[in-house]
Amino acid sequence: MGTTPPSYVTRDDLANLKPGHPTLVAIDSDGCVFDTMEIKQKQCFFPEIIRHWRLEAIADQVREVAAFVNLYSTFRGSNRFKGLVLTFDFLCERADTASAEVVLPSMESLRVFVASGRPLSNASLEIEAERTGDAELQSVLAWSLAVNESVARTVQGVQPFDGVRAALDRMATSSDLIVVSQTPEEALVREWDENDIRTYAKVIAGQELGTKAEHLHLACDGKYEAGRVLMIGDALGDRMAAEAIGAQFYPINPGDEERSWKRLVDQVYALFLSGDYGGDVEAAYIREFDALLPETPPWA
């Protein structure tokens, strides 16, 4: 099975981040900076779920459920292990899977791991699987490593959305920039390196360093005044991470990413710097964003 690669940075790197500007902007990567969500999920995650758990008989249902969970709902952008639990939960609720005579895993051991407070990474799961000898955790780890291998083979040459480079150029002059993501750090660094934008970020934090809220807390605690931290993301989890530390949130709307980045450069970033972004202005953008991501699946 092999071991997972080490993290490029540590939690201490986040905690010891020294401000170079009075403001900080944290940026999600998949689906926000890069148009990678659809290709990673549909060509890597979904096929590996079907193959690993022998779900060919309900492949259409798996793809529909996994797409809702990971792309088109309030769960979009969830950590892969949380998304896997939700996918099987929704599959178990569907009548057309119950009649297909397939065995769906309960994921009870994975639920315990997800709720444990440990970093939801391959490295952390590998340690727990070895400690407990739990067959389900070992199986999930094998699936997750296979997903990583598939992503490395499949997702190459994906460029940032139009407007991202202009935004990074603009923000880097007045704010400290960091990447906060639930993607494995190896993939993050590779994608930012491939596109020659890694130097914009003071730190690239992946799933190995904990949740996005933990990333923000470590990077920001006691270093920036109220209203001086902005989280940019494309998922509800990004907004919740911002709320957890009292930061402001600007959404990159799924399906309208280019316009979202242009609006950030043309209007929103200046409002953030001047202290005029919060309140009703921020709330209006969030309402627009929330309307794009339903909580109830279409088959319910």
What is the Cα–Cα distance from 295 to 298, expressed in whole angstroms?
9
Q: What's the predicted TM-score (pTM) here? A: 0.87
**Mean of pLDDT over the chain:** 94
The average pLDDT across 23-42 equals 96
Q: Residues 215-236: pLDDT tens digits?
A: 999 999 999 999 999 999 999 9
Q: Would you state the torsion angle of the CA atoms of residues 126, 130, 135, 138, taken in this order, to the nearest 10 degrees?
A: 20
Which tokens in the block code for residue 172? 């880097």
Closest C-alpha among 241, 183, 217 to residue 192: 183
pLDDT of residue 2 exceeding 60? no
Q: What is the pLDDT of residue 14?
A: 92
When pLDDT is cut at 50, 70 and 90, the band that residue 116 belongs to is: very high
Q: What is the pLDDT of residue 300?
A: 82
Q: Would you state the torsion angle of the CA atoms of residues 216, 77, 187, 179, taken in this order, to the nearest 10 degrees?
A: -20
- Do the Cβ atoms of 233 and 77 come closer than 8 Å? yes
The average pLDDT across 50-74 equals 97
- Do the Cβ atoms of 114 and 85 come closer than 8 Å? yes
Sheet holding 229-233, edge to edge: 203-205, 175-180, 23-27, 229-233, 248-251
Could you state, in order of their start, the residue ranges of all structural domains in the chain? 11-36+160-290, 37-154
Q: Residues 136-163: pLDDT tens digits?
A: 999 999 999 999 999 999 988 889 999 9
Q: How far is CA 154 from CA 40, 43, 158, 195, 203, in A?
A: 8, 8, 10, 16, 26
Q: What is the pLDDT of residue 101?
A: 83
Q: What is the pLDDT of residue 126?
A: 97
Q: Residues 40-50: pLDDT tens digits?
A: 999 999 999 99
**CATH number of the 11-36+160-290 domain:** 3.40.50.1000
Q: What percent of the chain has pLDDT over 90?
A: 90
- Environment class of residue 246 by beta-carbon count within 10 Å: exposed (0-12), middle (13-18) or buried (19+)? exposed
Q: What is the pLDDT of residue 108?
A: 97
What is the Cα–Cα distance from 31 to 42, expressed in whole angstroms?
13
Q: What is the pLDDT of residue 6?
A: 42
- Do the Cβ atoms of 238 and 249 come closer than 8 Å? yes
